Structure 1
């Protein structure tokens, strides 16, 4: 089954079939072929096959990674046949301009597609007048072409923006992985280099003293045990830090992600200061909440222009708020991401609130004050050390 799914994705079976279904608009033209000679009908059907193949190919290869010459060629074929068929066979073929408008969207970038859509719609009006058919017979296709040209440009450009955003996130993730590898190498050298060198030296001393001075050898072995325990603790602390995200990192990531998506981030300038008062585990829970909330804003907040991120703290605890002015889809609050956040916050005795507001959609992650206040003071003490 998996092989069949992979094969369908590779050959874009879904796009092909979806495009073929769209060709139902050519039925009125095909129905009118009985008014023409057999030779004309055969030539017309052949042209329709070529037209349909060009349209389906254009729709299935509409992304920017496809061959641009192929996409432009498909548009040229559909546009030429859309001009010829109504003039030669009647106004029932004016629907071909709708498909030419869709191919135009996939063939060019947005600005050039807009410049091409205008003349294409104007050409349809001219051809419609030249056919001499009553206006009531073809006006729906005139309106459909204009609507298809406009909405398809917006839809395709939105899809391309999502692709660019996803590629940017993948590139950022790869850069972050490379940077973490370098930092991991530096930290391991700093953590273990001195300790291992000292252990090697004390091992040599203990080896020399094992027969001549057993008491001194025992002291060296005891010191080696202390050095080993300290190095092990430092390694564990370092590994724990790698597994936990921080608010500072996620704020920087959120700023880049929102800006790339065309959403203006409004981040509380005091967020970083308040984050330093949190214990690592509690900060990691809020960092995960920030990451998932920003991801939901980009994916589900339709029409969002701004996103406010703030962190408040007091005797009652800390609350991270992410508020956007877009309209969330009905399924957005119930996704697996928010469910996972609720579980993370529950481990820290916190809770999550997510829902629409009069001005958009808001996510709140609240962590109450810990039972032992010294838990929140640990990061500051460690930093000072």
Structure 2
């Protein structure tokens, strides 16, 4: 299964999702190749080697400086044809979705998208993706080659192996139509803290908050913990919080060390986006909320009382050092704040 992974980069750093896909490909195959396309990107090859690439193809051209898909489709198509790759993998982003779709059309290849796992079964590559509004998982395959796949954001964590990659520069030959588009301006969303894809701690809010004004409780706790704020689909659909923070169905998949769910019932559509978290902490007034079935620590009580107290304890230093030991810190905070309205329960 000769595989090449398309590596996206930003600000001279390879993207976390791309590196996660690269590591998974190396786990499945061993010797896996990577493609880095851009301007002055050869310095990224060493990073790709440390995260699993045995060989890195470098495509450099001024036309590749802007994050536009068509020039990258040209480069990827030429590479697949000339080197006989039968599998091309992408970490899903806006750019890679365009590149993967264009490459599939160019090569008349099959493309599976939104995959949350990859495996080898009887020598064949098999993907897993959610279906029916993320309520079930189905295995998917390919009828021919090359096989193309887009992996859902946050599915695979990068694992540094410490390897060193062979580097090969490739000639960049672009179709005339591929250079017709010009990027006039590129803007980046400003954020005070880490993104939900990269954060070690996420505090997420649901409809149980009662209204958009109460997201301040979530924001304050996230800030105290040095984490990011996330939201459920119901909250986003109601206009309470931006779509960029949505976890779960049609949103993002995250895998932080600690995931604090505030006022979230825990429907399967949300679970699929955060089940990779090391520790899940749930705060909900309903003791029968589904989220308690898979939470490591559950707090039953009024979130409007519990969350401010947790924030206060973190700011005062009671659990600031412990929270990075995942559930231990939150368990300590609950013990300090225990009252008639709060109790903890463990997954098990």
The alignment's TM-score, normalised by the length of structure 2, stands at 0.31
Give the number of the structure with larger relative contact order, counting CA–CA contacts within 8 Å between residues 6 or more apart.
2
Structure with greater helix share of residues = 1
The alignment's TM-score, normalised by the length of structure 1, stands at 0.29
Structure with greater strand share of residues = 2
Q: Which has the larger radius of gyration?
A: 1
